[in-house]
DNA sequence: GCTCTTTTTTTCGAGCTTCGAAAAAAAGAG
DNA sequence: CTCTTTTTTTCGAAGCTCGAAAAAAAGAGC
């Protein structure tokens, strides 16, 4: 159960509140922070001068804009990029990316590799990840050791964000990535579902559109989802959860990559659209390694007119629509962002998606459902990881209390 | 966004924490409260003596058990039943119940009526509700005016808990029950989904079993669900949400009471089982007013052996199982409580439910899913409403701060 | 019956924190 | 150069929680 508030928690929490306000607003003045947090000016003044002295915040000097208003000009505060760095990595099918991100959230360096994830052993997969991070850190010199690693992975993780339970990118399961990374680099590491990170990023990117409740769906070889409810990332009770692609669309239906039948993904994943377009039986084994170009060509033919391709996209749209309908029966209608290369074919999918939703209980409020397209998933995933890692770091800072450890860019 | 903590919030929050600890534990000592809240003994001592002086808590004197331990015996604290009363009401098809509940959560008086809900006009429905509450209060005398009304209703409410959006018990929609009650009785009123209240009650009744994550499913004429995730009641973003019964089980399938096709309820609701058992077509209009005795007889025949009845229960079990499978794909497996008269036939449903779940993605952790039967829904709904109302009242108490209004049973 | 031990509860001063009011600082307006 | 306006800092007051110590209330032992 929830616990009482100790007196010394107060400062900690309010320090965190200030940092979070700066992170959200970018370059707010003390007055703005006071307004958004509801704390008094005196309190904000005290806390921010502490945080500046400790090197987490900076005063932005060079605002050489002729201030339009009278009176003492506001002094903008910003995060001190040098206060910390973190490492983020994104691992998906045959693709690995890692980057160093500063405390202000900007990517400092990035590297990519293309390992054959499906062919690697458990330990080689981990080794590949360790290698790219090592390479990244070596290029940086030893001055600024990062404070944390967050890895986004295509697949399911445990609820503690430490172990990959299952993933379509490798035949192996239960890989303890977080433990391995912590052993190698001696800093805290966590592992997150890639689609969840997409949702986190969308919320930071466009808070006007993606605020309290929305859905991010990845249309790719498989189907993934990140869900934000009440302003918080929704996760399962025992795993990263939100396996929208594996809700049952058609009991006993098409064979899914997960081995079950009738999942949404078994109709709407690239491999499923491909399978249907080829007029292969629904229970034929999902093909791996379908080229993106082939899918594009499929979409072109589907747009051209009737035929197996068009029909394949119809089935995909219906599966997505009925899936969303069932989801909305539980959580109520919400804006949807379709992310990934597959979203480029959204124009072909949309009519069928809308038609399906109209046949479900959420059809009543179909007007409340808006669709949005984001073709590039990688930057989203990276940003989501970065914000997640920085949120952890921020929490550590406010856990500090009176005895603050010197951050890298300490001023006084 | 979340807001900073003011200095004077501290006491308010910790007062609420103490009351909630007492409500949860029943008769804890100050020492126990200190342990569960993590606050110091001095703080608990100060707060609880305030709360006793204000009349919200009482010291339990008569614990004439020979204490087994040495030392000063613990003094048990309990809620003062006289501190406040509330009114709860439950409205379902052709049935209305209302009760007065004291601050300790015990039912003081209860009344029931059997109005023909489907035949009543909007205003007559409200009038019926007002009448039963008035009658209840008249029987009580005018001394203790209740502080709040909570109404549980079979149907969907808005997210603000003020208006019934849609309900199977009446052809009318958008009935502003909360506004009407507040006008009539001049005290705050809210309206909740009945199945959500079942879930709330289960959490209070058996916290060992129903703690952070579980599902309560009502098997009755229709299918309803209350869902607790992370220890909190899950609601939709715009409504009471959690319309498990209207997730799509079979696209384009059987006709549901809601007018759509293929909903879980269209296979698992009493009327659906009845329809299938009678071998009527799946798109025939759902029958109203099926007698409970007839359903019981159906279950008996289904238990006896093969036949249309058995097959009807099979279809119901499959719909429930696949629905749960899709739900668990999103939230991960969790314990399930089947509530209501329909749960008495759980023995016939169970094999098919389990078989269906095994065919879904959550089948992997089928062992984590436990089923439990609670035949009587009404006491659950009533208790859920009571706990909800009392939680509101508790919040009002701690919002009080220094200038506490005298509660009914004020001592000093 | 008396003293010792143990446990719970209360008391009290210290140390923080936030707040409001007032002062100081930093600009533009005239 | 002075006045006005707005932001930021300073300072004393009030309130909260905490730890230590004291008080209270029993049983244990002789």
Q: What is the pLDDT of residues A114-127, one digit of tens each?
A: 999 999 999 999 99
Q: Is the CB of B173 under 7 A from strand C?
A: no
Share of chain B above pLDDT 90, in %: 84
Map residue B97 onto helix, strand or coil.
strand
Q: What is the pLDDT of residues B268-325, one digit of tens each?
A: 999 999 999 999 999 999 998 899 999 999 999 999 999 999 999 999 999 999 999 9
Q: Report which of residues A369 and A213 the model is more confident about.
A: A213
Distance CA A72 to C1' C25 in A = 7
The pLDDT score that the predictor gives to residue A412 is 29
Q: Report residue B143's pLDDT band, with 50, 70 and 90 as the boundaries.
A: low
Chain length of chain A: 412
Mean pLDDT over each residue of chain B, to the nearest integer: 91
What's the Cα-to-Cα distance from B210 to each of A68, A400, B233, B389, rounded to whole Å? 59, 35, 12, 20
Q: Is the CB of B10 under 7 A from strand D?
A: yes
Q: Are the CB atoms for B314 and B352 separated by under 8 Å?
A: yes
Distance CA A61 to C1' C29 in A = 25
Q: Report residue A408's pLDDT band, with 50, 70 and 90 as the boundaries.
A: very low
Q: Is the pLDDT of residue A405 over 60?
A: no
Q: Are β-strands A214-219 and A223-229 bridged in parallel, bridged antiparallel, or unpaired? A: antiparallel
Residue with nearest Cα to nucleotide D11 C1': A42
What would the DSSP string read from start to end of A161-205?
S--EEE-TT-S---B-HHHHHHHHHSS-EEEEEHHHHHHHHHHHH
Q: Report residue B64's pLDDT band, with 50, 70 and 90 as the boundaries.
A: low
> To the nearest whole angstrom, how far is the Cα of A140 from the nearest Cα of chain B?
36
Q: Is the pLDDT of residue A410 over 90?
A: no
Residue with nearest Cα to nucleotide D26 C1': B72
Yes or no, beta carbons of B334 and A237 under 8 Å apart: yes
Nearest to A332 among B36, B236, B331 (CB): B236
The pLDDT score that the predictor gives to residue B361 is 79
Q: Is the CB of A71 under 7 A from strand C?
A: yes
Q: Is the pLDDT of residue B63 over 70?
A: no
Nearest to A361 among B10, B260, B327 (CB): B260
Q: Is B340 in CB contact (< 8 Å) with chain A? A: no
CB neighbours of residue A64 within 10 Å: 6
Q: What is the pLDDT of residues A364-395, one digit of tens each?
A: 777 778 999 999 999 999 999 999 999 999 98
Query: Which residues of chain B make contact with A258, given a CB cutoff of 8 A?
Result: 361
User: What's the mean pLDDT in B63-85?
Assistant: 84
Mean pLDDT over each residue of chain A, to the nearest integer: 91
Q: Is the pLDDT of residue A401 over 50?
A: no
Query: Which residues of chain B make contact with A327, given a CB cutoff of 8 A?
Result: 330
The pLDDT score that the predictor gives to residue A143 is 64
DSSP alpha helix (H) spans, B68-223: 122-140, 177-185, 194-205
Nucleic strand C contact set for A 124-183 (CB, < 7 Å): none
The pLDDT score that the predictor gives to residue A30 is 95
Q: Report which of residues A289 and B264 the model is more confident about.
A: B264
> To the nearest whole angstrom, how far is the Cα of B114 from the nearest Cα of chain A?
30
Q: Are the CB atoms for B352 and B231 separated by under 8 Å?
A: no
φ, ψ of residue A208 in degrees (nearest 5): -65, -40
Q: Is the pLDDT of residue A129 over 60?
A: yes
The pLDDT score that the predictor gives to residue A203 is 97
The pLDDT score that the predictor gives to residue B404 is 38
The pLDDT score that the predictor gives to residue B125 is 97
User: What's the mean pLDDT in B6-22?
Assistant: 91
Nearest-CA residue of chain B relative to A40? B6
Query: Which residues of chain A make contact with B359, given a CB cutoff of 8 A?
Result: 248, 251-252, 260-262
Distance CA A7 to C1' D8 in A = 26
Q: What is the pLDDT of residues B370-397, one digit of tens each?
A: 999 999 999 999 999 999 999 999 988 7
């Amino acid at each position: 159960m929830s616990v009482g508030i100790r007196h010394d928690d107060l400062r900690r929490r309010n320090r965190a509140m200030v940092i979070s306000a700066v992170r959200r607003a970018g370059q707010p003045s003390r007055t703005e922070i006071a307004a958004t947090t509801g704390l008094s000016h005196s309190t904000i003044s005290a806390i921010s001068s502490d945080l500046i002295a400790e090197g987490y915040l900076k005063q932005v000097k060079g605002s050489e804009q002729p201030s339009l208003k009278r009176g003492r000009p506001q002094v903008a505060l910003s995060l001190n990029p040098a206060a910390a760095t973190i490492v983020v990595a994104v691992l998906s099918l045959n693709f690995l990316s890692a980057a160093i991100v500063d405390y202000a959230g900007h990517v400092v360096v990035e590297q990519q590799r293309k390992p054959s994830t499906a062919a690697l052993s458990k330990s080689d997969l981990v080794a590949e990840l360790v290698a790219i991070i090592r390479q990244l850190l070596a290029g940086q010199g030893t001055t600024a050791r990062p404070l944390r690693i967050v890895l986004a992975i295509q697949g399911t993780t445990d609820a503690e964000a430490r172990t990959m339970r299952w993933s379509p990118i490798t035949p192996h399961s239960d890989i303890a990535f977080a433990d391995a990374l912590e052993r190698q680099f001696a800093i805290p590491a966590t592992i997150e579902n890639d689609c969840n990170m997409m949702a986190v990023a969308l919320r930071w990117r466009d808070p006007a559109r993606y605020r309290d409740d929305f859905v991010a769906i990845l249309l790719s070889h498989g189907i993934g989802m990140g869900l934000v409810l009440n302003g918080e990332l929704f996760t399962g009770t025992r795993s990263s959860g939100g396996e929208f692609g594996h809700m049952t669309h058609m009991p006993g239906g098409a064979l899914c990559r997960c081995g079950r039948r009738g999942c949404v993904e078994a109709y709407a994943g690239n491999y499923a659209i491909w399978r249907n377009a080829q007029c292969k039986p629904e229970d034929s084994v999902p093909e791996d390694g379908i080229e993106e170009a082939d899918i594009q060509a499929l979409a072109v033919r589907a747009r051209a007119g009737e035929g197996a391709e068009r029909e394949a996209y119809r089935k995909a749209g219906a599966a997505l629509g009925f899936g969303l309908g069932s989801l909305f029966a539980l959580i109520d209608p919400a804006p949807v962002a379709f992310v990934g290369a597959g979203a480029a074919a959204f124009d072909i999918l949309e009519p069928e998606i809308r038609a399906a939703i109209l046949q479900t209980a959420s059809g009543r409020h179909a007007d409340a459902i808006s669709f949005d397209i984001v073709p590039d998933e990688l930057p989203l995933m990276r940003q989501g990881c970065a914000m997640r890692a920085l949120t952890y770091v921020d929490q550590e800072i406010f856990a500090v209390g009176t005895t603050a450890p010197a951050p890298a860019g300490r001023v006084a």
